[in-house]
Amino acid sequence: MSLTQSSSGEAVADIERNLRHIDSIIKQKGREILNDYMITPPQFIALHSLYEKGDTTIGDLSSRMFLACSTTTDLINRMEKASLVARVRDTKDRRIVRIHLLEEGEKIIKEVIKRRRQYVEDVLDNFSEEETAQLNALLSKMHIEMKVE
For 57-87, the pLDDT digits (tens) are: 999 999 999 999 999 999 999 999 999 999 9
Which CATH number is 123's domain given?
Answer: 1.10.10.10
Burial class (CB in 10 A: 0-12, 13-18, 19+), 99: buried
pLDDT band at 5 (very low <50, low <70, confident <90, very high): low
Q: Is residue 21 part of a domain?
A: no
Q: Is residue 81 part of a domain?
A: yes
Please state, in angstroms and as integers, the Cα–Cα distance from residue 107 to each residue in 48, 85, 110, 147, following that order. Answer: 11, 12, 5, 28
Residue 3 predicted with pLDDT over 70: no
Report the number of distinct structural domains present in the chain: 1
Mean pLDDT of the chain: 92
Q: Is residue 19 part of a domain?
A: no
Domain range for 62:
38-146
64-78 burial code (b ≥16 CB/10 A, e <16): beebeeeebeebbee
Q: Which residue has the higher pLDDT, 4 or 146?
A: 146
